[in-house]
A = this chain, B = another copy of it.
Amino acid sequence: MYNVTHRGDTMSTIKDVAKLAHVSVATVSRVINQKGYVNIETRQLVLDAIEKLNYVPNELARSLFQKKSRIIAVMLPHLTAYYFAELLEYIETYTIDQNYRLMVCNSQDDPEKESKYLRIFDQYNIDGIILISNTHRIDDYKKLGIPIVEIDHKLGEDIPSIQSNNYQGGKLAANKLVSIGCRKIIHLRGPSDLVIVRERSNGFNSVLKENNIINFSYDLDFRAPSPTDIANVVKSNPDCDGIFCDSDYIAILAIQALKSSGRRIPEDVSVIGFDDIEIASVLTPKLTTISQPRKLISEYAVNALIKLINKEKLDPFHRNVDVKLIERDTTK
């Protein structure tokens, strides 16, 4: 027998506890996990020893045996958009509340980073994934055999998902714009290869069509929408009287462009954003926008994932949650 001495620290193990309590490690394990029979006095002995040694079970060893890590991974496209940051804040809260930990995986829409993370999920026995990034490799995720919940996407019937009712959001915005008399309307939208963008467009256009209004759409990048593109759109449509933007950030850029073209908001043109980010209510003018229930979405996603991890049934497998029009100062 030899002794591998690759530790300098002092963390006590289950053996130390067993020794101090004069019992076997099995007994200690039983009291920790509240499983199997253990005499009430023995139990106290063990508890005392744990207390005295300041013992915390090593989760890695546990994980190795049980093939569960109590780690949840969240895959996001980026962090520096308020919408995602808030989602993450909620997700972290619910995750830790349920005694899981959170690994942040920022795909940045980079396939290489995504691959790296896909490997990591295997390596660490990640228990579940909350997928917020758009991905072109949903099959690779499925192959992992790990429970997944999607937010803002629905990449297949077999993966539970939750998202805002984007169709409704588009309708809400269009109805508002039409009802206040807008007739030349522009939709500054996100990349139209995203389902959420298409759904918003569909809802939006359905209302315009009913009212015989032509829709002009321009695709923009969500992460870094080009201010000059937006300015160009604004300039080349001097008769535009209503703009629907797929994010509040785009709306802010649009407002900026409108102002520097000398157009008044909302007198000359009404603007509606999407998301209801914190800053929207604090700008001048305050932004009218479609609010997404981010807290609800996050809470549902975490809870659904944990149900899946525990092999419980998920009742509505896909959820579509209501959005709200928040009327402020950028619409008449």
Chain A residues near B (Cβ < 8 Å): 6-11, 56-61, 63-64, 66-67, 69, 71, 78-80, 82, 85-86, 88-89, 92-93, 96, 101-106, 108, 113, 116-117, 119-120, 122-125, 145, 227, 249, 252-253, 255-256, 259, 278-279, 282-284
Contact = CB atoms under 8 A, between A and B. Distances in A.
Contact of A103 (B10, B63, B103): B103
Contacts of A255: 284
B116 A96 contact: yes
A67 B120 contact: no
A79 B89 contact: yes
B145 A9 contact: yes
Contacts of A103: 71, 101-104
Scoring A56, A104, A278 by chain B CB atoms within 10 A of each residue's CB, the highest score goes to A104
Report how many copies the assembly holds. Answer: 2
Nearest to A81: B85
Contacts of A58: 64, 123, 125
A78 B69 contact: no
Given A122-B56, A123-B58, A282 B227 contact: yes
A178 B58 CA distance: 58
A57 B123 contact: yes
B282 A60 contact: no
A277 B71 CA distance: 32
A1 B167 CA distance: 59
B82 A80 contact: yes
